A and B are shown apart, each in its own frame.
Chain A
Amino acid sequence: MRTLVILASCLAPQGEEFDRAVARIVERLSEDQVEARDKAVQELIALGTKALPAIRRRSEAVDVEVRERLLSVAREIERLDRMNFFLGQSSRISLKAERMPIKSVLAELAKQTTTPVVLKEMPDEVPISIELKDAPFFHALQEICRAHSGILMRLPGDTYSLEDRSPVELVRGNPRACSRYVEGPFVVDLESVYVSESSDFQGKREETISLNLVAGWEHGIRPIGMRFRVTSVVDGQGTAYKVASSMARDDRMDIYIWRRTWVTLDKVPPASVTSFKEIAGVLELDFPSDGHVARVDGPLGKRNVEAPGGPASFTLEEFVRDGPDRVRATVETASTATEKWLERVRFFAIDAQGRIYPQEGGRGRGTVPGKMRWTFAFEIPGEAEVKELRAVRMLMEKGRTFERRINWKLLDVHFR
């Protein structure tokens, strides 16, 4: 749906012609057939935020029934627009390098993405020649590694929370031995194959084999839940394996995604097997039904500042440094002590380098009915310049949450 919105926005006609196009669709909102009306609604939604002024103008010149439909379309367009904050956008990387050092290539890459990449170990200075056009970010990074031939990427594999900016690391290694699945801004990687052998020193031996898989996504994609399954494993000799057990967490109490899945297979391949022909599965990512963001720029030292943002609105009462590495904030939000944990307002401080600091803990107290005053801290180094205090509130309306399903497949994975 999101892709459709973006595409339709790009193809939409401009100016008066655009207004006339909107008017033609609006006329179809009065059709007798429900299907025809629904189709018109979808077409209007697909026009995106650019259609909002025309839709609002038209809503004043139509009957009550059509006006209601138009206002409902406007609300949906606004919601989808807000959801861009969570659904993000896939970077499209275009690069042309002729015998360029890796650091310069990465600097070029950094101009086209907000996903951080770090060189964990300084690799050999191999000049890189590469040409990429509109490549997804992870595909581009993989191609850069291959062009260098001495580095490979490692995805951040541990926990993810809403504003996580853990970098993709580039370490020394052979990129041609790696197999990854990239789809838009998402990637699935086999981090390792683990073979465990145990002995009791009396002749009894046992063996198990496990696959450690990691999912990743570009910065700006903000899922709130994830399910990561392996459905098929076939070794290089054509033998299929079943998943005997898996270790993956689906924490729905709060946004705290473990980006790995660890599966143990039902049997250990014989020593002659050195690769998996195919490892396949499903990755499902959940997003909220709606989300709101409110901001205060340059919050340090500011007092009693209103930050509008719908349900995320807050009043910044105080934002002061009270230690060499600590900032204390007091805010008032429209919330109650009994609201759902996933729907509470979350605060993040962002520094001039784009580093994000989530709030630590928080003590809340009711002030007036429907208002809470929160005091919490951020662990921010003294040298960091706080550029923004951001509040994010998600809504989890049943049946309207977004889901992204990715059928992934890794081919020719070598081990041993």
Chain B
Amino acid sequence: MRLSWLFCLFLLSQDDVAARLKAEKWRGVQYLVEKGEGSRAALQEATKGGDRDVTFYAQAALAELDSLRAGGHSTVPRTTGTQAQAARVVADLFKSAGLSFSLDSLPEKSLTLPDGLTFAEALDAVSQELNVEFVQDDKGTWKPGGPFNKVPRFSSGSVRARMEGVVGGTTWNPGLPPTRHLWLTGNLQGFFSRFRAPVLYADLRVLEALDEHGRDLRWHRDWHEDSIHAQEERRERDASFIVALKAPDLKTTRVACLRLAADFCFKKKEDRITFDKVAGARSVRTVVGDVEATLLRAGMEGDVFRVDVKVKAPGVDARIPGNEERRELGIRLLDAEGRAWERSGGGYGSDGRESTYESEFKNRAGAGPPATVTFSMITEVEVRSVYFEFRDLNLP
């Protein structure tokens, strides 16, 4: 007992974790995830080691451990070498992951599934062997859907992703050097079970993008990356995504390494944001949770009291009550006694990171002078990240 404990300690030391991740990559990630919480401390240390590969794989493993700890999903057992009719093998695979499925049109043939594959690896293996792509219908049921796509793929543990297309755009500006931008589209399926809560919003981080010459292709943009779309209604952990890259010149013909993290964000806390002594106020800033709110201006304009408020936070629009078609911050203007002025009009503008609300109020109910502006929104979110990567993507 004592010896095995010491052995465990040895196994999960930082150096060993780093060495394993460096050598085994995603196999190493899965090994450490299956080890469970015991590998957390060493993984955390490994993220600080300075090796870019090790840091990435350690972060990927930690993200999956976080998700397991939060109870979002449980690990799917690895395959035990089986040989049977295809329908039987695939059915067993989906059952082991707790997924609903319908296999009516599956080819009738014998199928061998090797030992020790993770769920995503196994699903890709049977897809290729049967020349069938498995897809989800509107109700989340997995079905055979079209022939297997020979596209760049990623599969590890319970995460599967595939590239669907790439557009390369070259702009020739007379008198200036040409510029080349790339847009890679793909699809991600993570954990293969349902989120317990609806996804509030999703964000995509491009952690690393290198061409065959080792040059950075990331497009450093200052606007919100809204190019990942999670299935909010279905609560499935799948998403389509677009990665925008910029080549330094026309010598780039390949994306040698593309490392991504998809952040699925969920509501954690809704809170009230309040500004006092609002009459004549200008540019008053407050921070609640991860929301930065600014009362831009408040004061009488003609016969109305105008209130302009700016709220800034990742995925800001999804944090505001309402649905995708109409969101309303519900700004209230109150007098010192808490009596409300009536909202008579307003406008709204947003760039996905920052939203500005202009509201006009009239005193129709005999309230006193305006004293307080208040509204509610989601001020804290919980993030579940899925890490994945692609190698050697040929560009058009």
Pairing of A with B: yes
Binding site for B on A (CB under 8 A): 152, 171, 173-179, 190-202, 205, 322-324, 326, 328, 330, 363, 375, 413-416
Looking at the complex, which of B159-167, B205-213, B237-245 is the stretch in contact with chain A? B159-167
Query: Whole-angstrom distance between the alpha carbons of A196 and B173 in the complex?
Result: 14
Query: Do A199 and B165 touch across chains, with their CB atoms under 8 A apart?
Result: yes
Q: List 19 A-B contacts (CB under 8 A).
A: A152-B175, A152-B176, A173-B176, A191-B173, A193-B171, A195-B169, A197-B168, A197-B169, A198-B166, A200-B151, A200-B165, A201-B151, A201-B152, A201-B165, A201-B393, A205-B396, A330-B302, A363-B302, A375-B301
User: Could you say which of A176, A197, A205, A323 contacts B282, with CB atoms under 8 Å apart?
Assistant: A323
Q: Tell me the nearest residue of chain B to A377, going by C-beta.
A: B301
User: Could you say which of B164, B176, B394, B396 contacts A171, with CB atoms under 8 Å apart?
Assistant: B176
User: Could you say which of B164, B168, B176 contacts A196, with CB atoms under 8 Å apart?
Assistant: B168
Binding site for A on B (CB under 8 A): 149-152, 163-176, 282-283, 297, 299, 301-302, 393-396
Query: Do B167 and A195 touch across chains, with their CB atoms under 8 A apart?
Result: no
Query: Whole-angstrom distance between the alpha carbons of A324 and B297 in the complex?
Result: 10
Q: Which residues of B contact A152 (CB under 8 A)?
A: 174-176
A289 to chain B, nearest CB (A): 34
Query: Do B297 and A202 touch across chains, with their CB atoms under 8 A apart?
Result: no
Query: Do A177 and B169 touch across chains, with their CB atoms under 8 A apart?
Result: no
Query: Do B174 and A179 touch across chains, with their CB atoms under 8 A apart?
Result: yes
Q: Tell me the nearest residue of chain B to A375, going by C-beta.
A: B302
User: Could you say which of A198, A323, A330, A415 contacts B165, with CB atoms under 8 Å apart?
Assistant: A198
Q: Which residues of B contact A323 (CB under 8 A)?
A: 282, 297
Q: Tell me the nearest residue of chain B to A328, going by C-beta.
A: B301
Query: Whole-angstrom distance between the alpha carbons of A202 and B282 in the complex?
Result: 57
Q: Which residues of B contact A322 (CB under 8 A)?
A: 299
A172 to chain B, nearest CB (A): 8
Query: Do A177 and B151 touch across chains, with their CB atoms under 8 A apart?
Result: no
Q: Which residues of B contact A173 (CB under 8 A)?
A: 173, 175-176
Query: Whole-angstrom distance between the alpha carbons of A272 and B393 in the complex?
Result: 26
A407 to chain B, nearest CB (A): 21
Q: Which residues of B contact A193 (CB under 8 A)?
A: 171-172
Query: Whole-angstrom distance between the alpha carbons of A275 and B35 in the complex?
Result: 62
Using known A-B contacts A205-B396, A375-B302, determine if residue A198 contacts B172 with beta carbons closer than 8 Å.
no
Q: Which residues of A contact B299 (CB under 8 A)?
A: 322
Query: Whole-angstrom distance between the alpha carbons of A194 and B167 in the complex?
Result: 12
Query: Do A415 and B174 touch across chains, with their CB atoms under 8 A apart?
Result: yes
A199 to chain B, nearest CB (A): 4
Which 10 interchain pairs have the tightest Cβ spacing? A415-B172, A197-B396, A173-B175, A177-B175, A199-B396, A201-B151, A174-B175, A193-B172, A198-B167, A152-B175
B174 to chain A, nearest CB (A): 5
Please report whether the interface of chain A is mostly helix, strand, loop or mixed according to DSSP.
strand
- Residue among A175, A191, A192 having the largest count of chain B Cβ atoms under 10 Å: A192
Q: Which residues of B contact A199 (CB under 8 A)?
A: 165-166, 394-396
B346 to chain A, nearest CB (A): 12
Query: Whole-angstrom distance between the alpha carbons of A200 and B150 in the complex?
Result: 10
A280 to chain B, nearest CB (A): 16
Query: Do B167 and A196 touch across chains, with their CB atoms under 8 A apart?
Result: yes
Summed over the interface, the residue pairs from A and B with CB atoms below 8 Å come to a total of: 82
Query: Whole-angstrom distance between the alpha carbons of A178 and B172 in the complex?
Result: 11
Q: Which residues of A contact B174 (CB under 8 A)?
A: 152, 177-179, 190, 192, 413-415
- Residue among A198, A205, A375 having the largest count of chain B Cβ atoms under 10 Å: A198
Query: Do B149 and A202 touch across chains, with their CB atoms under 8 A apart?
Result: yes
Q: Tell me the nearest residue of chain A to B165, going by C-beta.
A: A200
User: Could you say which of A190, A201, A326, A375 contacts B163, with CB atoms under 8 Å apart?
Assistant: A201
Query: Do B396 and A198 touch across chains, with their CB atoms under 8 A apart?
Result: yes
B114 to chain A, nearest CB (A): 26
Query: Do B175 and A178 touch across chains, with their CB atoms under 8 A apart?
Result: yes
B121 to chain A, nearest CB (A): 20
Query: Whole-angstrom distance between the alpha carbons of A190 and B174 in the complex?
Result: 8
Q: Tell me the nearest residue of chain A to B152, going by C-beta.
A: A201
Query: Do B167 and A197 touch across chains, with their CB atoms under 8 A apart?
Result: yes
Query: Whole-angstrom distance between the alpha carbons of A293 and B29 in the complex?
Result: 72
Q: Which residues of B contact A326 (CB under 8 A)?
A: 297
Q: Which residues of B contact A416 (CB under 8 A)?
A: 172
Query: Whole-angstrom distance between the alpha carbons of A176 and B393 in the complex?
Result: 37
Q: Which residues of A contact B165 (CB under 8 A)?
A: 198-201
Query: Do A202 and B150 touch across chains, with their CB atoms under 8 A apart?
Result: yes
Query: Do A201 and B394 touch across chains, with their CB atoms under 8 A apart?
Result: yes
A343 to chain B, nearest CB (A): 25
Beyond A192-B171, A192-B174, A415-B174: 19 further Cβ-contacts under 8 Å?
A: A173-B175, A177-B174, A178-B175, A190-B174, A191-B173, A192-B173, A193-B172, A194-B172, A198-B168, A199-B395, A200-B165, A201-B166, A202-B149, A323-B282, A324-B283, A326-B297, A363-B302, A375-B302, A415-B172
Q: Tell me the nearest residue of chain B to A206, going by C-beta.
A: B396
Q: Which residues of A contact B151 (CB under 8 A)?
A: 200-202
Query: Do B150 and A194 touch across chains, with their CB atoms under 8 A apart?
Result: no
Query: Whole-angstrom distance between the alpha carbons of A414 and B173 in the complex?
Result: 9
Query: Whole-angstrom distance between the alpha carbons of A152 and B174 in the complex?
Result: 9
Q: Which residues of A contact B152 (CB under 8 A)?
A: 201
Q: Tell me the nearest residue of chain B to A202, going by C-beta.
A: B150
- Residue among B149, B172, B297 having the largest count of chain A Cβ atoms under 10 Å: B172
B21 to chain A, nearest CB (A): 28
Query: Whole-angstrom distance between the alpha carbons of A50 and B396 in the complex?
Result: 67
Q: Which residues of A contact B393 (CB under 8 A)?
A: 201
Query: Whole-angstrom distance between the alpha carbons of A322 and B167 in the complex?
Result: 49
Query: Whole-angstrom distance between the alpha carbons of A192 and B167 in the complex?
Result: 18
Query: Whole-angstrom distance between the alpha carbons of A177 and B176 in the complex?
Result: 9
Q: Tell me the nearest residue of chain B to A415, going by C-beta.
A: B172
B11 to chain A, nearest CB (A): 39
Query: Do B168 and A175 touch across chains, with their CB atoms under 8 A apart?
Result: no
B166 to chain A, nearest CB (A): 5
Query: Whole-angstrom distance between the alpha carbons of A328 and B394 in the complex?
Result: 57
A43 to chain B, nearest CB (A): 46
Query: Whole-angstrom distance between the alpha carbons of A196 and B180 in the complex?
Result: 10
Q: Tell me the nearest residue of chain A to B164, going by C-beta.
A: A200
Query: Do A195 and B172 touch across chains, with their CB atoms under 8 A apart?
Result: yes
A303 to chain B, nearest CB (A): 16
A301 to chain B, nearest CB (A): 18
Using known A-B contacts A201-B152, A201-B163, determine if residue A194 contacts B171 with beta carbons closer than 8 Å.
yes
Q: Which residues of A contact B283 (CB under 8 A)?
A: 324
Query: Whole-angstrom distance between the alpha carbons of A195 and B180 in the complex?
Result: 9
Query: Whole-angstrom distance between the alpha carbons of A205 and B165 in the complex?
Result: 10
A344 to chain B, nearest CB (A): 19
Query: Whole-angstrom distance between the alpha carbons of A171 and B175 in the complex?
Result: 10
Q: Which residues of A contact B168 (CB under 8 A)?
A: 196-198
Query: Do A201 and B164 touch across chains, with their CB atoms under 8 A apart?
Result: yes
Query: Whole-angstrom distance between the alpha carbons of A371 and B149 in the complex?
Result: 69
Q: Which residues of B contact A178 (CB under 8 A)?
A: 174-175
Q: Which residues of B contact A200 (CB under 8 A)?
A: 151, 164-165
Query: Do B166 and A196 touch across chains, with their CB atoms under 8 A apart?
Result: no
User: Could you say which of B169, B171, B173, B175 contacts A175, with CB atoms under 8 Å apart?
Assistant: B175
Q: Which residues of B contact A330 (CB under 8 A)?
A: 302
Q: Which residues of A contact B396 (CB under 8 A)?
A: 197-199, 205
Q: Which residues of B contact A179 (CB under 8 A)?
A: 174
Query: Whole-angstrom distance between the alpha carbons of A415 and B172 in the complex?
Result: 6
Query: Whole-angstrom distance between the alpha carbons of A375 and B301 in the complex?
Result: 9
